[in-house]
Structure 1
C-alpha cells in the first residue's frame, strides 16, 4: 500500500510491476509504449539464450547494452558462414558495456574466432565469465587469449576445455598467467597438454597469486607432469581445487603429491579419479593424511580416488589415516574393489573418526560381510550423513544388518542401496527400521528384486515414518492389493516429497492409483514413472489429477508409451496447472499431433520451465513448427531434444 505522504512516482510503479512479471508478459508489455519499454526491456534482455528459436540477431544488436548473460548456441553461429561475419558478431557483442557472461561452447570458432575475441577483450572491462569449451581454438588461439589476459583486469572464469591446445598452447599460457591478477577459475580439461604442458603450468602456479580452481582432467599427464605440478603446490598459496581425473599419475605421482600436501596449506578439494594410483600410491597419500603430516596441512576436505584399483590394501592404508585425520569430510572410493576386508578396515576407522560426513563405496565388491562390518560402525559413528553402497551385492543379510544399525544411528540422512539384491526380506527389515528411525531422509532401493511382501512392508513403514522425504524403489505392481496399499500409505504420510518408482510395471492401473493420490496429497513434489507402460489411459488419469494438484513440480514420464493421445491429454492439464515446472515426455512417440497440442497449452501456461522431448523422432515438421512458434512468445519454457537444438 502506498503512503499518502510519500507516493510512488510512475517510473517506480513501472519498475515494481516489471519485477513481478514473467518473460512472456514482459515481452508483450515492452511493446506498449516507449516509457513501458524502458522499464520492461532491461529485465527481458538480462539473460539471453541465442538459439534457432530465440530472439533475432537484430534484436540482440539493438538491445546489446542491456544484456549481462549471453549464451550463443551452435546452430546460430554456424549460420554465419563467413569468417568476417562471425568476427563482426563477436566484436559487436564484446563492445557491450554491460555483458558479464558469454557462453560460446561447441561453436567451432577456431583460432581465428579466438583471436577476434582477444582483440575485443583488450577493450572490454565488464566480462567476468567466458566459456569457450569445445571450439578447436588450438595452440594459436590459446596463445592469443593469454596475451589478452596480460592486460585484462575483469575476467575471473575461463573455460577452454576440449580445445586441442596441447603442450605448445600451454607453454604460451605461462606468461599470461604469471602477470594476470584476476583469473580465479581455469578449465583446461581434455586438451592433451601432457607432461610438458603440466610443467609449464607448474611454473605459472609458482608465481600466480589469484587462481583458486584448476581443471586438468583428461590431459595425459603422467608421473613427471604430476611431480612438477605438485612441486608448485609447495609454493602456491591460493589454489583450493585441483582436478586431475582421467590422467596417469600412477603411484609415483601420488607419492610426489603426498610430499606436497605436507607443505601446502590451501588445497581443499583434490580429484584423482582414474589415475592408476593403486595400493602403493594410496599408502603414500594416506601418510600425508595422518596427524603428523597435518601439522602443516590442515585444509584438505574432499578427496576423490574413484577407479584407482586401490584394493583392500589401499582401503587399509586410508583407514589408518582416517583414525587420526580431523579435516577430511568427503571420501569417494567408487570402483576400487576393496572387498569385505577393505570395508572392515574402513569400518574400524569410522568408529574413531569424527569429521567424515560422506563416504561412497559404489561398486566396491564389499558383499554382505562388508555391509555387516559397516553396520557396526554406524551404531557408534555420529558424523557420517551420506553412505553410498550401491551395486555391492550385500543381499538380504547385509540389508538386515544395516537396518539394525539404523535403529541406533541418529546422523545418517542418505543411504543408497540400489542394485543390491536385498529382496523382500531385506526390504522388510529396512521397513522395521524406518518405523523408529528419525533422521534418514533419502533412501534408494532401486532394482533390488523386491516382491509383493517387501513392497507392502515399505508402505506400512511410510504410514508411521515422518522424516523420509525421498524414496526410490522398484517392484512388480501387477497385483491387486499393491495399488490400495500404496494409496493408503501416501495419503497418510506427510513428509515424502520425491517418489521414484520407475520400471515397476505400473501400467495404466498404477497411473490411475497415483492420480488419486495426486488429487489429495500436499507434500509430493517429484514423481518419477519413467519406464512404466502407462499408455494413453494412464496419461489421461494423471492429466485429470494435474488439473487440481497444486504441489507437484516435476513429473517424469520418459518411455511410458503415452503416444499422441497421452500428450494431448496432458496438454489439457497444462492449460490450467500452475505449479508443474519440469515435464519429461521423451521417448514417447507423441507425433506432430501431440506436439501441436503441447504448443497450444504453452501459449497460456507460464510456469513450465523445462519440457523434455528427447529420443522422439516421431515429431514431424508440423509439430516442430508449432513448438518453434510457441517459443517465440513463451519466454519461460526450454524444450530439450535433438529436434530443438
Structure 2
C-alpha cells in the first residue's frame, strides 16, 4: 500500500521515464492532469529542437521545465530573419531553469553572439554554453567577453572552430581577469596565433578559477608556448592544458618544461603533433624527474625518435606520479621499445602506455614482454600498427601467462596471423586479468578463430574481443559460436568485415539461443542476406541479454527486415539496431514502423521512415 499516489514518488516516475521514448512520454502526459503533472517535467528536462522533433512553440509552452536545450541548425536556419533569430536567443536565455544550452553548428555569427551576450548579462542559471562551429569572429568574442565580466553563473564555454583570432583572444583575456566562475574554456581552432596565446597567458597569471583550457590547432608557435610557460609559473588552478597541433617545436617544449619544474597544479598536458623532436622530449624528461603532479602526458606524433624515447625512459625510472603516457607515431623503433621496457621494470605508477605506429617490430614487442613479466601496475598497453607479427604475439603470450595486472591489450593491424592468434589463445586459457583484446585488421583467418574459440571455452575474464577484418569467414564464425554457447563472461564481440555470410549468421544465431552474457554484437559488412537475418531473428525472439546489434552494410533486404520485425514484437531487451545500407525499400521501412508501435525499447538507425 503506497502512502501516496505512486506517480508522486520521483523514483518511480524516473524509472518509468527511462523505459519510454520521447513520444511515449508525451502521450503519458496527455492521459490526465495527474499524469501531465508527473510526466511533462520529465519530457522537457532535456530536449532537442530539430526538424523532426519538438518545435520552438513546444519549448515556449514548457520552457520553465527545461534544464538542457539543444537547438539543431534545421530549426535555427528556418527562422526568416536575423531579428527573429535574436528573439529566439533572448527567449531561451530568459528561461530561469535552463542550465545547458547547445547551439553548435548554427552559424549564429557575430550578431547571434551579441544577442547571447546581452542575455548572459542578466542570466543567473546557465552553466554550460556550446557555441562551436558558429562563424563567430572577433566582434562576437568581444561581445561575449563583455558578458563574462558580469555573468557569475557560466562555468563552461565552448567556442571551438570559430574565427575569434588574436583580437578575440585578447577580449576573452580581459574577461578572464574579472570573471570568477568559468572553469572550462575551449578555443580550439580559432587562429589565435602567438599574440592570442600571449593575451590569454596574461589573464592566467591573475585568474584563479579556470581549470581547463583547450587551445588545440591555433598556431601559437614557440612564442605562444613561452608565454603560457610564464603563466604556469604563477597560476595555481589550471589542471588541464591542451595544446595539440600548435607548431611549438623544441623551443616551446623547452619553455613549458621549465614551468613544469615548479608548477604544482597541472595534471594533464597534451602536446601531440607539435614537432618537439628529441630535444623537446629531453626537456620534458628533465621536468618529469622533479614534477610531482603531472599524471597524463600526450606526446604523440612528435618525431622524438629513439633518443627522445631514451630520455623519457630515464624520467620514468624516477617519476612516481605519471599514470598515462602516449607516445604513438614517434618513429623510435625497436630501440625505443627496448629502453621503455627497461623503465617499465622499475616504474611502479604508469597504468596506461600507448605506443601505436612506432615500427617496434617483433623485437620491440619481445622487449616489452620481458618488462610485463615483472611490472605490476600497467593495465593498458596499445601496440597497434607496429608490425609485431607472430613472433611478437608469441612473446606477449609468454608475458600474459605470468602478468596479473594488464587488462587491455591493443594489437590492431600488427600483421598477426593464425600462429600469433594460436599463441595468444594459449595464454588466454590461464590468464585471469585481461578483459579487452583488440586483434582487429590482422589475418588470423579461420585457424586463428578456432584457437581463440578454444580459449574462450575456459577463459573467464575476457569481456571484449575485437576481430574486425580478419577474414575468418563462415567457418570462423561457426567455431566462435560454439564457444559462445558455454562462455559466460564475453559481453562485446566485434566481427565486422569478416565475410561470415548467411552460414556464419546462422551459427551465431544458434549461439544466441543459449548465451546469456553477450550484450553487443557487431556484424557490419559481412555479406549477410535475408536468410542470415532470418536466422538471427529466430534467436532474438528468445534472447534476453543482447542490447546492440549492428548489421550495417549487408544485404538483408525487405525479406530480412520482415523477419527482424517479427522478432522485435517479442524481444524486449534490444535497444540499438543499425540497419544502414541494407537494400531496404519502402515495404521494409513500413514493416519496421509497424514493429516500433509495439516494441518500445529498440532504436533503429540507418533507415528512412516516411
TM-score band, normalised by shorter chain: over 0.9
Identify the residue that residue 176 of structure 2 maps to in structure 1. 205
- Paired with 2:217 and 2:446, the residues of 1 have a C-alpha distance of 47
- The alpha-carbon distance between structure 1 residues 478 and 330, as it changes in their structure 2 partners (threshold 3 A), is closer
Cα shift readout 1:74-101 (whole Å, capped 9, x = no counterpart): 4458xxxxxxxx7645534xx5221101
- Paired with 2:105 and 2:463, the residues of 1 have a C-alpha distance of 38
Identify the residue that residue 288 of structure 2 maps to in structure 1. 322
Matched, 1:130 2:101: yes
How many Å apart are 1:564 and its aligned residue?
A: 2.6
Residues 186 and 215, structure 2, Cα contact 8 Å, conserved in 1: yes
- The alpha-carbon distance between structure 1 residues 461 and 568, as it changes in their structure 2 partners (threshold 3 A), is same
Structure 2 residue matching 1:448: 3-state secondary structure: coil
Cα shift readout 1:22-63 (whole Å, capped 9, x = no counterpart): 6359988997998888359845x666xxxxxxxxxxxxxxxx
Correspondence list, 1:95-494, <5 A: 95-107=62-74, 109-110=76-77, 111-112=82-83, 114-121=85-92, 123-290=94-261, 293-294=262-263, 298-474=264-440, 475-478=442-445, 482-494=448-460
- Paired with 1:608 and 1:634, the residues of 2 have a C-alpha distance of 10
- The alpha-carbon distance between structure 1 residues 479 and 185, as it changes in their structure 2 partners (threshold 3 A), is closer
- Paired with 1:463 and 1:507, the residues of 2 have a C-alpha distance of 24
- The alpha-carbon distance between structure 1 residues 442 and 209, as it changes in their structure 2 partners (threshold 3 A), is same
- Paired with 1:620 and 1:531, the residues of 2 have a C-alpha distance of 24
Residues 442 and 470, structure 1, Cα contact 8 Å, conserved in 2: yes
Cα shift readout 1:176-229 (whole Å, capped 9, x = no counterpart): 111111000100111111111111111111111100001111111101111001
- The alpha-carbon distance between structure 1 residues 458 and 613, as it changes in their structure 2 partners (threshold 3 A), is same
1:636 to 589, 601, 607: 601
Structure 2 residue matching 1:408: 3-state secondary structure: coil
Q: CA RMSD in A?
A: 2.5
How many Å apart are 1:159 and its aligned residue?
A: 0.4
- Paired with 2:428 and 2:357, the residues of 1 have a C-alpha distance of 25
- Paired with 2:531 and 2:41, the residues of 1 have a C-alpha distance of 38
- Paired with 1:97 and 1:131, the residues of 2 have a C-alpha distance of 17
How many Å apart are 1:10 and its aligned residue?
A: 6.3
**Structure 1 gap segments, 5+ residues each:** 1-6, 48-65, 78-85
Cα shift readout 1:514-553 (whole Å, capped 9, x = no counterpart): 1111111110000010111100111111112112211111
2:6 to 12, 16, 39: 12
- The alpha-carbon distance between structure 1 residues 359 and 74, as it changes in their structure 2 partners (threshold 3 A), is farther
Structure 1 residue matching 2:161: 3-state secondary structure: coil
- Paired with 2:205 and 2:102, the residues of 1 have a C-alpha distance of 30
Structure 2 residue matching 1:331: 3-state secondary structure: strand
Q: 546-555 or 254-263: which moved more?
A: 546-555
Identify the residue that residue 91 of structure 1 maps to in structure 2. 60
| TM-score normalised by L of structure 1 | 0.88
How many Å apart are 1:138 and its aligned residue?
A: 0.9
- The alpha-carbon distance between structure 1 residues 14 and 508, as it changes in their structure 2 partners (threshold 3 A), is farther
Identify the residue that residue 23 of structure 1 maps to in structure 2. 19
- Paired with 2:53 and 2:31, the residues of 1 have a C-alpha distance of 32
Residues 556 and 585, structure 1, Cα contact 8 Å, conserved in 2: yes
- Paired with 2:213 and 2:29, the residues of 1 have a C-alpha distance of 52
How many Å apart are 1:112 and its aligned residue?
A: 4.4
1:516 to 459, 482, 496: 482
Structure 1 residue matching 2:420: 3-state secondary structure: helix
Correspondence list, 1:586-625, <5 A: 586-614=552-580, 616=581, 618-625=583-590
- The alpha-carbon distance between structure 1 residues 509 and 87, as it changes in their structure 2 partners (threshold 3 A), is closer
- The alpha-carbon distance between structure 1 residues 545 and 73, as it changes in their structure 2 partners (threshold 3 A), is farther
Structure 1 residue matching 2:157: 3-state secondary structure: strand
Residues 121 and 152, structure 1, Cα contact 8 Å, conserved in 2: no
- The alpha-carbon distance between structure 1 residues 454 and 323, as it changes in their structure 2 partners (threshold 3 A), is same
- Paired with 2:113 and 2:516, the residues of 1 have a C-alpha distance of 51
Residues 519 and 545, structure 1, Cα contact 8 Å, conserved in 2: yes
Cα shift readout 1:473-494 (whole Å, capped 9, x = no counterpart): 15544455x4543222111111
Cα shift readout 1:270-322 (whole Å, capped 9, x = no counterpart): 110111111111110011101xx32xxx1100011111111111111111111
Higher relative contact order (CA 8 A, sep 6+): 1
How many Å apart are 1:569 and its aligned residue?
A: 2.0
Residues 14 and 36, structure 1, Cα contact 8 Å, conserved in 2: no
- Paired with 2:600 and 2:103, the residues of 1 have a C-alpha distance of 26
Residues 384 and 410, structure 2, Cα contact 8 Å, conserved in 1: yes
- Paired with 1:342 and 1:467, the residues of 2 have a C-alpha distance of 32
- The alpha-carbon distance between structure 1 residues 19 and 219, as it changes in their structure 2 partners (threshold 3 A), is closer
| TM-score normalised by L of structure 2 | 0.93
Residues 152 and 179, structure 2, Cα contact 8 Å, conserved in 1: yes
1:73 to 50, 73, 92: 50
- The alpha-carbon distance between structure 1 residues 27 and 132, as it changes in their structure 2 partners (threshold 3 A), is closer
- Paired with 1:29 and 1:164, the residues of 2 have a C-alpha distance of 36
**Structure 2 gap segments, 5+ residues each:** none
